[in-house]
Chain A
């Protein structure tokens, strides 16, 4: 798979290769190599630092073991950047029951991160992440299927970004504001609940709807809703088209501010736009094409897939400080709200072995 995210001055792209192999009838092994190549300068970097480029490599190994109607899975992921190392182990169990109308899936994962700061050999910190997820999948009618997902995440340790800063009003500065490092609490607990359903229309097509509610101990509350429409063009599955529309909205963390009144104004402080009051809208289209047999590898079903998503972010109280220049005299806190559009592309070749 080739994946690309481009927006807000940043481009992140790279390849991802997944290989899955069945061993006997009950064991399935998988290995994934995934790369993020990051370049450019986000709005934060543009305001306070210089453009950069870096790479993140991620390796994952997984195994699924199927016994009767139970699947047990284990996984390991290692992610490394020049200033960030992360390891995650995961364990899951999935049980189908009630004539296989219902499937209950439970997963836990534990992650351990080591955080460094380039240019500062004395800085080292760590963070732990624990995730607990439960999914209940239910066949409701011959054409309707639903799923309820609940997930709790607990983080502990160094959770902010060692480079990012907050800004505060500073009459001594020419622009009227200065920057100081951000400080986050060292714990964060979040809960998310999602309900999704998929319905087969009277003709061969399907619609999907999803709602998710999120809240965490930092005071962030968020909702999102998504609709999808899947439409195959022919009975033989040669082309499958998909359209998507998604709305997301969140309330800021308690310790977020675009402009703090003075230096060291609060114990915790953030000016990360991802913790501000904002909303985004995504529009996506996708197409999957089943290759004719003469083009197919390994005599199996081969598909080529292309998905394009456009996400428009609109920040209510994250202001665009790059508007300042010698020709204008915009007061701090009066800058226009920041907004940007991002394009996300997924292009992949899939072989079902």
Chain B
């Protein structure tokens, strides 16, 4: 087995196993820590594919920033008690969710068997990327030339989201303070 294959199976098994832990465990902190490992495994798979920048950003943004905040909140709230108790749900609901999962699984199997699993190479196949000086350079160049406008609009969108959430949080606090 080539080293890529070994590492692919390692990261793939890790990703699937910890995704299951994330979904099945009731303790939110356990779920969050497992999710970090899932993101890390994804980053490993991206790195195997040669997309080092995507792998690094995956770790920086998802594993490094978003999950840290999430775990921070879980730890501050000390939300150890399970919030979604499966025992109390009606059996029809359980049957429905199981059926939904089975349908989705069947759909994925069908899609992977019949769909175009290996899509056509786009504008930048690996050779071209290497010629133009690596994916980091290329992505940065494109981001600041061709895609500058969408990039800036996205940042404005995120800023609007932050302002919105702060406003909502502040308003609740003021209401509670008055009452």
Determine if chain A interacts with chain B.
no
Binding site for A on B (CB under 8 A): none
